[in-house]
Amino acid sequence: MATKAVPGAAATGEPTDVATPATAPNPLRKGLRLERIPEPCTMVIIGATGDLTERKLAPALYNLMLGGFLPPEFTVVGFARRDLSDVAFRERLHASVGDHSRNRPVKASIWASFARSVEYQRGEFHDPNAFAELTKRLARIDRDRGTAGNRLFYLAVPPVLHPEIVRQLAAAGLVASGEARDARHKGWTRVIVEKPFGSDLASARQLNREISEVFNEDQIYRIDHYLGKETVQNLAVFRFGNGLFEPIWNRRYIDSVQITVAETVGIEGRGEFYDQTGALRDIVQNHALQLLAVFAMEPPIEFQASDLRDEKLKVLRAVKPMTQREVALSTVRGQYQAGWVAGEQVSPYREEPEVAPDSQRETYAALKLAIQSWRWAGVPFYLRTGKALATRATEIAVQFKQAPLALFERAGASSLDPNVLAIRIQPDEGILLRFGAKVPGPGLQIRGVNMDFRYGSSFAVDSPDAYETLILDCMIGDASLFTRADELERAWEILDPILTAWESGEGGELHFYEAGSWGPAAADELLERDGRTWRHP
């Protein structure tokens, strides 16, 4: 069970560390979505002048402050190479919040109290002196601000730097154990690690090994921001909080499942990164396989990190890695060419800056996976993702089996489309159930209709950004929405044979598609061979 601060205690300045169930209602803040306030702590953002801090971390922290979810002692230290004063760093954060926060304009009173908790330290990532300085600073912050030795290090830097940085943290005496490997140190130390986590199984294992030389697994929070999305969390509630759906969540009733992560954006100036990465590593390895795991897992014994992650791992273990021949038959890789997306002209991927003019890198991937478990045997899972597609939409569409008898077709009705349950992760978050209904009037005509739940109209509140949820969970010590080392390595085990076959040219050719389309025709053929079609969200 995760150790959580008793909500309300932090507000009175009494850090009380007791085990409480994740779902325990807080009598003081009943009715609020996030009822948990973390203990006082310092968050050190390593790589604090980068894009992630600007677009995600600064807005997330401001919104947590605005929502009253941070304890008054909470402190942020930005650590990066650039020479900046505290004031200049605060101004950068202020501008980032102004540009990217879901709540705007920035409220002056909230900002003023947030800014007081922000400091900056310049340092090279390989310089022991910089980390020694950081140690002194954090000790001073503990004394002056009452942060109790609790530290959260956020590695917002490219993964090649992770091993060096964690070694420096350890050498500077900044790493206390999960809850005390180092007796000199009071309080907890946790580290948030950003994706990409490796580029194949071997490099992911190596990175896991290097980080685990310094941190225990229970201190490592590997972010997959999809798990922090409200709709993804709701997937578990939908399945296990209702009596209606779980009984039909299996091969007896479900014909097939489609998981789509479609983006209209191209590679957004990240040519160098993307040309080494591609859609399979960038989206399928993490976001799409995590959606699959949450969708397909067995009910966990309890709703807590280890049980949830055990169940997700079981799903991934049941996904059989493909042989080279299966890669050629069950996967499609594509790359966008010129086209139009939302009224804007898009140049071909190969003409993007820092992309090789003859690049073979996929900007689109479609796969057919099989989960070889009792529940899912025989149910194909089709996954697809792509850049520069027709629509931005992430959804899981469940297609149900047809009724056993075509009763109405005998009476002259045209054939019915199968029932579909579409779980819209984003945008337009909600859940849609499509079924057949009789068209009013004489005769028997049947048409597909929708029952549609929309977050926007059912709840008056805005959903928090995934980074808000995940940073807060990490401060609380709840790792449920983070990826464990074994899950991550299993995801690479599934994808490694595909990457190898694609990169050797044996796994089928690269198909081109027009920007603004739904991807290459070969992806349609992948389903047509099975007598199915993709749903276009």
Residue 465 touching ligand BG6 (CB under 6 A): no
Is residue 316 within 8 Å of 494, Cβ to Cβ?
yes
| Contact mark string toward ligand BG6, 198..227, x via CB under 6 A | ---------------------------x--
Residue written as token pair 């389309």? 517
Residue 161 CB, nearest approach to ligand BG6 (Å): 17
Q: How far apart are CA 107 and CA 45, in angstroms?
A: 23
Of the candidates 162, 287, 511, 536, the residue annotated as catalytic is 287
63 or 117: CB nearest ligand BG6? 63
155 or 371: CB nearest ligand BG6? 155
Backbone angles phi, psi at 162, to 5 degrees: -60, -50
Residue 366 CB, nearest approach to ligand BG6 (Å): 17
536 catalytic residue (yes or no): no
Q: Which of 144, 132, 207, 120 is nearest to 169 (CA)?
A: 132
Backbone angles phi, psi at 348, to 5 degrees: -60, 150
Whether the upstream peptide bond of residue 196 has omega within 30° of 0, thus cis, is yes
Q: How is 114-159 classified by DSSP, letter by letter?
A: HHTTEEEEE--TT-HHHHHHHHHHHHHHHHHH--TT-EEEEE-S-G
Residue 263 touching ligand BG6 (CB under 6 A): yes
Residue 429 touching ligand BG6 (CB under 6 A): no
Q: How many residues of this chain bind ligand BG6 (CB under 6 A)? A: 3
Residue 194 touching ligand BG6 (CB under 6 A): no
98 or 196: CB nearest ligand BG6? 196
**Residue of 39, 230, 282, 395 interacting with ligand BG6 (CB under 6 A):** 282
Residue 364 CB, nearest approach to ligand BG6 (Å): 13
Q: How far apart are CA 336 and CA 354, in angstroms?
A: 16
Residue 282 CB, nearest approach to ligand BG6 (Å): 5
Residue 499 CB, nearest approach to ligand BG6 (Å): 17
Residue 395 touching ligand BG6 (CB under 6 A): no
Residue 275 touching ligand BG6 (CB under 6 A): no
Q: How far apart are CA 179 and CA 191, in angstroms?
A: 13
Helix/strand/coil percentages in the chain, nearest 5:
40, 20, 40
Residue 311 touching ligand BG6 (CB under 6 A): no
Which residue has the closest beta carbon to ligand BG6?
A: 282
Beta strand pairing status for 446-454 and 420-426? unpaired
Which spans of this chain sit near ligand BG6 (rule: CB under 6 A)? 225, 263, 282
Residues assigned a catalytic role: 287
